[in-house]
């Protein structure tokens, strides 16, 4: 109401205030009238209960209970949102969807609370009239299929986020509507298939997933599904990035293109940034700024503000744009190196599709395909180093000087 009043009021005195010469009832009627105008303008579906949620004393207090809850579950860290927004070339006539919308940082979500947060967020960013629906994206499995050019989402994931309703709701004519449900009813896994279904052919998907979805041996079926289309990039985020959302799960930004017949042995961009502009090891998630190595002072921008130490939105963005230029990828912002001063951008990391397929489990872990890691491994090979697994497979006995036992795990590399 306050935002609407300040933006559109033609009165000298704004309506969203308490006039000392007006009675309580007069103030209440005026604010209710303002609320109805704002609600109509922004097409807000949810309502304020004026008897319970509006308090008029010396100040105006809107007591929305949902704002007292922990709303971190609805948020994606802003550096991640900024990165995704900066790499996509979205044209005015193209359609974008976030089927797990939360606070609408990327743009639909079954949570009424999330719906309210999303409207507040969009209003404050000047887009409060955008149409949003509250629905169950998974249950509404055939709604708006193949309608969108872009799907950008951070779905709920983890062992505790399981489809809780009757499994028959996800069946049609006795058949599963999600092929991945044959393996799991985790929402994060079902959302992978749902997002692909929402896209037109050649549509682009940017989705945040647990790293385990992409490299755990037991979840090979997820990669088999993804490989039906084109994997554009996998950016590994540091563990703790989503600590503000109450999870320490390590995550990746996976970028896909719904190409039915992708090129043979195409390149997949990989990166593993360690600096995102905030302290993801701290519960406070405070901003981290760049420091001059010589003076120890904060580096400042031309506007005299401290510069966040954000590798994701600097080097990774530019390298990805160069990759998209080299690969002539439509739907992405592109960057072309025009002089030698920017030649370092040519050294982006990637792997070939056939390299991924060489592993029988299709493990996609960016850290293993970085040039720095490859160089390190080559040095070990040249020194005739050997892995513990190779020794084990050769039937050699393994022992160490401190007498501690060694357990060789299938999911680990040594």
pLDDT digits (tens, 9 = 90+) for 355-367: 999 999 999 999 9
Alpha helices in 88-216, H assignment, sequence order? 112-124, 187-198, 211-215
Pairing of strands 148-153, 171-172: unpaired
Distance CA 383, CA 386 (A): 9
State yes or no: pLDDT of 69 exceeds 60: no
- Domains of the chain: which residue ranges? 2-63, 71-274+351-364
pLDDT tier for residue 345 given thresholds of 50, 70 and 90: low
State yes or no: pLDDT of 370 exceeds 90: yes
Instruction: For residue 114, give the 3-state DSSP assignment.
Output: helix
State yes or no: pLDDT of 221 exceeds 60: yes
Tell me what the mean pLDDT of segment 27-40 comes to: 75
Which has the higher per-residue pLDDT, 14 or 148? 148
For residues 335 and 345, the answer to whether their CB atoms sit within 8 Å is yes
pLDDT of amino acid 72: 41
Distance CA 140, CA 377 (A): 48
pLDDT of amino acid 19: 61
Which of the given ranges, 53-57, 189-193, 267-271, has the highest pLDDT on average? 267-271
The domain 71-274+351-364 is classified under which CATH number: 3.30.420.10, 3.40.50.150, 3.40.30.10, 3.30.56.10? 3.40.50.150
Distance CA 217, CA 215 (A): 6
Distance CA 224, CA 276 (A): 31
Place of tokens 């497979």: 393
For residues 254 and 272, the answer to whether their CB atoms sit within 8 Å is no
Q: Secondary structure of 190-253 in the HEC alphabet?
A: HHHHHHHHHEEEEEEEEEEEEHHHHHCHHHHHHHHHHCCCEEEEEEECCCCCCHHHCCCCCEEE
State yes or no: pLDDT of 53 exceeds 60: no
């Amino acid at each position: 109401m306050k935002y609407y009043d300040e933006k559109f009021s033609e009165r000298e005195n704004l309506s969203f205030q308490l006039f000392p010469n007006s009675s309580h009832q007069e103030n209440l009627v005026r604010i209710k009238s303002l609320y109805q105008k704002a609600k109509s303008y922004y097409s807000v579906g949810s309502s304020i209960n004026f008897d319970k949620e509006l308090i008029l004393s010396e100040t105006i207090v809107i007591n929305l209970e949902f704002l007292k809850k922990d709303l971190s579950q609805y948020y994606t860290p802003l550096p991640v949102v900024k990165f995704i927004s900066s790499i996509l070339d979205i044209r005015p006539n193209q359609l974008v969807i976030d089927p797990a919308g939360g606070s609408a940082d990327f743009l639909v979500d079954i949570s009424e609370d999330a719906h309210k947060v999303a409207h507040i967020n969009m209003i404050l960013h000047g887009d409060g009239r955008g149409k949003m629906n509250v629905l169950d994206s998974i249950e509404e499995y055939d709604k708006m299929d193949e309608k969108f050019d872009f799907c950008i989402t951070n779905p709920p994931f983890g062992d505790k986020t399981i489809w809780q309703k009757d499994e028959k709701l996800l069946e049609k004519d006795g058949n599963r509507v999600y092929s991945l449900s044959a393996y799991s009813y985790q929402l994060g896994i079902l959302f992978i298939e749902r997002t692909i279904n929402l896209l037109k052919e050649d549509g682009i998907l940017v989705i945040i997933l647990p790293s385990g979805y992409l490299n755990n041996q037991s979840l090979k079926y997820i990669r088999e599904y993804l490989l039906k289309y084109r994997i554009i990039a996998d950016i590994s985020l540091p563990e703790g990035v989503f600590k503000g959302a109450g999870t320490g799960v390590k995550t990746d930004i996976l970028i896909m293109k719904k190409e039915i017949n992708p090129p043979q042995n195409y390149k997949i961009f990989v990166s593993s940034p360690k600096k995102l502009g905030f302290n993801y090891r701290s519960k406070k998630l405070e901003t981290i700024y760049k420091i001059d190595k010589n003076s120890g002072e904060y580096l400042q921008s031309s506007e005299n503000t401290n510069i966040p130490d954000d590798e994701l939105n600097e080097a990774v963005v530019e390298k990805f744009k160069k990759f998209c230029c080299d690969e002539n990828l439509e739907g992405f912002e592109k960057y072309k190196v025009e002089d030698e001063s920017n030649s370092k951008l040519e050294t982006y990391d990637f792997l070939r599709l056939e390299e991924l397929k060489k592993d029988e489990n299709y493990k996609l872990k960016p850290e293993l395909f970085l040039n720095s890691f490859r160089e390190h491994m080559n040095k070990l090979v040249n020194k005739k180093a050997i892995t513990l697994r190779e020794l084990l497979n050769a039937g050699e006995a393994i022992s160490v000087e401190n007498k501690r036992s060694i357990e060789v795990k299938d999911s680990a590399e040594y």
